[in-house]
């Protein structure tokens, strides 16, 4: 079985650009999908990288920024517009203290 996000949950959204041009169409689609699932986006964190970081997917500084956004906004979940490894999910859950 898998976890379903409950309608009414509040989230910090994370979108990382892996190319030089920052195509905002992908981010807009991600925000629309989140909204249609009944999740309220409290804050959007964006950044750019050449490749995913093995520990957090994002760099350590960006991971801290995400954790700060969660604490400041009171979000119950962090949603990435990318697939994370189980280890990356676990590391981010510990850092952010949320799903």
Per the listing, tokens 């700060």 go with 68
Does any domain span residue 43? yes
Does any domain span residue 47? yes
Does any domain span residue 4? no
How many independent structural domains does the chain possess? 1
Contact 78, 12 (CB under 8 A): yes
Residue-level pLDDT at 18: 85
Does any domain span residue 2? no
pLDDT in tens, 25-83: 889 999 999 999 999 999 999 999 999 999 999 999 999 999 999 999 999 999 999 99
CATH of the domain at 86: 3.40.50.11060
Q: Which pTM value belongs to this model?
A: 0.86
Does any domain span residue 59? yes
Question: Who has greater pLDDT, 10 or 2?
Answer: 10
Residue-level pLDDT at 25: 85
Question: How far is residue 18 from each of residues 30, 52, 82, 88, measured CA to CA in Å?
Answer: 16, 9, 11, 18
Residue ranges making up the domain that contains 67? 10-17+24-96
Residue-level pLDDT at 4: 59
Residue-level pLDDT at 24: 77
């Amino acid at each position: 079985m898998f976890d379903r996000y409950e309608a009414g949950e509040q989230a910090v959204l994370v979108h990382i650009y892996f190319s030089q041009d920052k195509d905002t169409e992908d981010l807009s689609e991600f925000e629309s999908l989140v909204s249609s699932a009944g999740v309220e986006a409290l804050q959007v964190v964006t950044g750019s990288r050449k490749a995913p970081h093995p520990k957090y997917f994002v760099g350590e500084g960006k991971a801290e920024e995400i954790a700060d956004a969660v604490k400041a906004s009171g979000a119950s979940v962090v949603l990435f517009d990318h697939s994370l490894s189980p280890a990356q999910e676990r590391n981010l859950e510990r850092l952010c203290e949320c799903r």
